[in-house]
């Protein structure tokens, strides 16, 4: 029997290009390359996010996950600036999962928002303690000392390096919060500036450590055959041919999850081998008979019809302002439309991957995860051990978009390690990634407006029906959760005296999860497409019409009884719904795009949409050119964002540039379908994302300077893009698009 030699694609390319010859080799990755050193062991640790050594090295702890947003650089940069450190002498270390850091769920566009104050406090605390230490040593008032560029400098010019003060500072009492002085924007060296991320050079050289790169001594690999229908159980299996495949060691049955499914393993039959290739090849020979699952009858076409019919009927009222029914009765005209957005998959470039070792009643995991604390919770529950007995090391993530907040794949690795008595690495293929996702919900929405003689709404009704993310945590959940309703539905920013939002029930037939921008995707598509329809019916300019709907600058006060979690869990006094900010992004978008100069028609058009999500305000103007063959190109997109205080302008621009492409993929191509309970798509040939010729040629990002608290940037750029594209197509062709994706439409 021939032996199988493990060769990574990256290792293969590195050897080929570096040696200039055809040399087979694999890069060996030591486990300690990603195991996070404990900053608590530093000479002085004034904060869980910060450590200082006597040689002056500053250790900044990155407690959030890095998946291309730059957060592993941006939060430490803020810390260094508030401390007065020299950025070149800051060492960033990735944190393991630990509740002492606060939330580590790198999701919901909240890393800066939630930790802006905490990180500044950490830096300001250490700075004050260093300044007081120097002052005591010199016998001068602390107010005469200032930490800057890794020194504490006295007004006379004498100075101490940070390292020289560590021992003295460690003996200082920790100042109270009211003693801290945060730096002003004028004092910052790094905040608000374009600086490269700490990973840039390594990533460009192929040296980044991702989940797929993890190797643990004695590790075996697993490829898992899962039920093609959600909830299916193994009835029987035959692995006789599988065990004949070179490299295969054994097969292991994993039990199906218990309701609610949470972040448990799906269950199935795992093929254990000495390398991924052998495990996957062995799995192809596996014969599994599945018990009939409850969701075998799920068919996406029939389900769409079910959702649409429900959206056309009265449903549960989630917000009611004024007397909508009476206002409809006196309206000059009533306009109605139905919209639909299909089920979507995350499809990050790196599919889920994790390694885990169960030993002496404890688990050590290495995972490409957005939420290491969820790993601790899910693994401890699955194995019946304490949460503190689960150590989760966090690698770089090759994309996430919310998928890698759900650690089911880490649970698989941990369970298998316990069963086989060795470290196990679970690697999902692209096909598994797409067929067994936590899908973004399909949604049907019914829109209705009663307008006056000038075409302005006097009455407004919208209904939304979709399977809820709540079904992940409660198997009986069928109505949208508060946070889903708060994503563009109950927080309508328009100045309309009478309006009502409703939500209908929908049963889930697959795992439903959050994806980049979440419910804002379908809610924004319906609302901003409908606004465009109303503007056209009124014969008015779209920008002028949107500004009229927004009305004067004011804070919207949604009267939603009992709702706590609809404003991204944030209080309205800190993050109000400020229509003046929404107006501003619309006005700037019109100005920057040259809206007033453009004339749509004849195969060329401009569309606009403006949406508030994740506490940020974003407007998108999209230009389209029809090719006369049923296709179109997007010459340029203008994105205007007001996201409050900005730490790293370069990272913000990158996020909105990426959002323009992501939103284009959703509009053009995104669609997951099912027949007989089975997902039909499997890879990028049938679940496509925008290629270069389909993506926007130019994306111009305009960030509005603001002193408001920092808000989200990773997700809020996505929602306005699909409706702006469809509005542009209407402007170019007169063809109205009410359901996505565009690939299903024959465009004029």
Per-residue pLDDT reduced to its tens digit, 307-359: 999 999 999 999 999 999 999 999 999 999 999 999 999 999 999 999 999 99
pLDDT at 645 over 80: yes
pLDDT at 37 over 90: no
State yes or no: cis peptide before 260, omega within 30 of 0: yes
Cα atoms in the 13 Å half-sphere on the side-chain side of 580:
6
For residue 14, the model assigns a pLDDT of 55
Q: How confident is the model over 724-738, as pLDDT tens digits?
A: 999 999 999 999 999
Q: What mean pLDDT value characterizes the chain?
A: 95
For residue 32, the model assigns a pLDDT of 52
For residue 21, the model assigns a pLDDT of 38
CATH number given to 312-345+438-744 = 3.30.365.10
Distance CA 230, CA 201 (A): 42
Q: Nearest-CA neighbor of 545 among 481, 590, 483?
A: 590
Q: Does domain 216-294+352-427 sit in CATH 3.20.10.10?
A: no
Domain boundary assignment for the chain: 39-204, 216-294+352-427, 312-345+438-744
For residue 482, the model assigns a pLDDT of 95
19: confidence class by pLDDT, cuts 50, 70, 90: very low
For the beta carbon of residue 238, count every other beta carbon within 10 angstroms: 13
Distance CA 306, CA 340 (A): 12
Distance CA 177, CA 106 (A): 26
Continuous segment of H or E residues that includes residue 155: none
For residue 36, the model assigns a pLDDT of 59
Q: How confident is the model over 242-255, as pLDDT tens digits?
A: 999 999 999 999 99
Among the residues of 259-391, which ranges form H helices? 276-284, 300-311, 324-329, 372-383
Strands (E), 442-497: 443-451, 457-465
Continuous segment of H or E residues that includes residue 20: none
pLDDT at 285 over 70: yes
564: confidence class by pLDDT, cuts 50, 70, 90: confident
pLDDT at 30 over 80: no
CATH number given to 39-204 = 3.30.365.10
pLDDT at 455 over 80: yes
């Amino acid at each position: 029997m021939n032996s199988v030699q493990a060769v990574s694609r990256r290792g293969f390319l590195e050897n080929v290009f570096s040696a200039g010859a055809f040399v087979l080799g694999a890069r060996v990755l030591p486990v300690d390359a990603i195991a996070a050193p404990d900053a608590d062991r530093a000479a002085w640790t004034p904060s869980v996010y910060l450590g200082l050594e006597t040689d002056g090295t500053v250790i900044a702890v990155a407690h959030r996950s890095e998946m291309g947003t730059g957060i592993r650089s941006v939060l430490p940069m803020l810390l260094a600036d508030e401390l007065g450190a020299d950025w070149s002498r800051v060492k960033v270390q990735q944190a393991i999962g630990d509740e002492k850091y606060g939330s580590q769920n790198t999701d919901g566009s909240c890393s800066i928002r939630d930790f802006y104050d905490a990180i500044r406090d950490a830096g300001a605390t250490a700075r004050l303690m260093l300044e007081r230490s120097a002052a005591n040593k010199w016998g001068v008032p602390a107010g005469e000392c200032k930490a800057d560029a890794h020194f504490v400098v006295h007004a006379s010019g004498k100075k101490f390096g940070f390292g020289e003060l560590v021992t003295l500072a460690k003996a200082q009492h920790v100042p109270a919060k009211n003693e801290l002085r945060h730096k002003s924007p004028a004092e910052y060296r790094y905040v608000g500036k374009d600086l490269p991320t700490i990973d840039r050079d390594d990533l460009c050289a192929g040296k980044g450590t991702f989940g797929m790169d993890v190797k643990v001594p004695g590790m075996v690999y697993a490829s898992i055959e899962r039920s093609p229908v959600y909830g299916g159980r193994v009835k029987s299996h035959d692995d006789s041919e599988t065990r004949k495949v070179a490299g295969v060691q054994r097969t292991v049955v994993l039990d199906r999850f218990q309701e609610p499914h949470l972040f448990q393993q799906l269950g199935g039959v795992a093929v254990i081998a000495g390398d991924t290739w052998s495990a996957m090849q062995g799995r192809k020979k596996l014969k599994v008979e599945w018990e009939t699952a409850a969701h075998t009858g799920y068919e996406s076409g029939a389900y769409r019809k079910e959702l649409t019919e429900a959206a056309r009927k009265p449903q549960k009222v989630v917000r009611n302002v004024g007397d909508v029914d009476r206002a409809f009765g006196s309206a000059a005209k009533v306009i109605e439309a139905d919209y639909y957005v299909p089920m979507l998959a995350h499809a990050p470039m790196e599919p889920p991957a994790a390694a885990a070792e169960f030993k002496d009643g404890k688990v050590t995991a290495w995972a490409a995860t957005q939420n290491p604390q969820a790993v601790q919770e899910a693994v401890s529950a699955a194995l019946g051990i304490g949460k503190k007995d689960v150590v989760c090391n966090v690698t770089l993530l090759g994309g996430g978009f919310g998928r890698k907040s759900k650690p089911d794949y880490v649970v698989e690795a941990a369970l298998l390690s316990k069963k086989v008595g060795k470290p196990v690495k679970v690697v999902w293929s692209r096909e598994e990634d797409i067929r067994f996702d936590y899908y973004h919900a399909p949604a049907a929405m019914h829109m209705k407006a009663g307008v006056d003689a000038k075409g302005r709404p006097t009455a407004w009704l919208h209904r939304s029906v979709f399977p809820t993310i709540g079904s992940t945590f409660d198997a009986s959940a069928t109505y949208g959760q508060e946070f889903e309703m708060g994503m563009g539905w109950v927080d309508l920013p328009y100045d309309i005296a009478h309006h009502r939002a409703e939500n209908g029930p929908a049963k889930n037939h697959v795992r439903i999860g959050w994806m980049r921008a979440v419910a804002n995707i379908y809610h924004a598509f319906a609302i901003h497409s409908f606004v465009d329809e109303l503007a056209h019916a009124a014969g008015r300019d779209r920008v002028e019409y949107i500004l009229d709907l927004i009305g004067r600058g004011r804070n919207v006060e949604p009267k939603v009884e009992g709702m706590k979690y609809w404003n991204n869990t944030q209080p309205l006094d800190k993050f109000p719904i400020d229509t003046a900010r929404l107006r501003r992004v619309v006005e700037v978008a019109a100005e920057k795009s040259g809206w007033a100069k453009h004339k749509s028609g004849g195969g060329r058009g401009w569309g606009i949409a403006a949406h508030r999500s994740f506490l940020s305000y974003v407007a998108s103007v999209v230009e389209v050119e029809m090719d006369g063959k049923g296709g179109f190109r997007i010459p340029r997109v203008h994105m205007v964002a007001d996201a409050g205080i900005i730490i790293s302008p370069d990272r913000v621009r990158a996020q909105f540039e990426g959002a323009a492409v992501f939103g284009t993929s959703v509009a053009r191509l995104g669609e997951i379908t099912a027949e007989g309970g089975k997902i039909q798509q499997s890879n990028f040939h049938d679940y496509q994302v925008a290629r270069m010729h389909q993506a926007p040629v130019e994306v111009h990002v305009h960030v509005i300077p603001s002193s408001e608290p920092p808000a989200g940037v990773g997700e809020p750029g996505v929602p306005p893009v699909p409706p702006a594209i469809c509005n542009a197509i209407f402007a170019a062709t007169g063809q109205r698009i009410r359901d996505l994706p565009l690939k299903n439409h024959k465009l004029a």
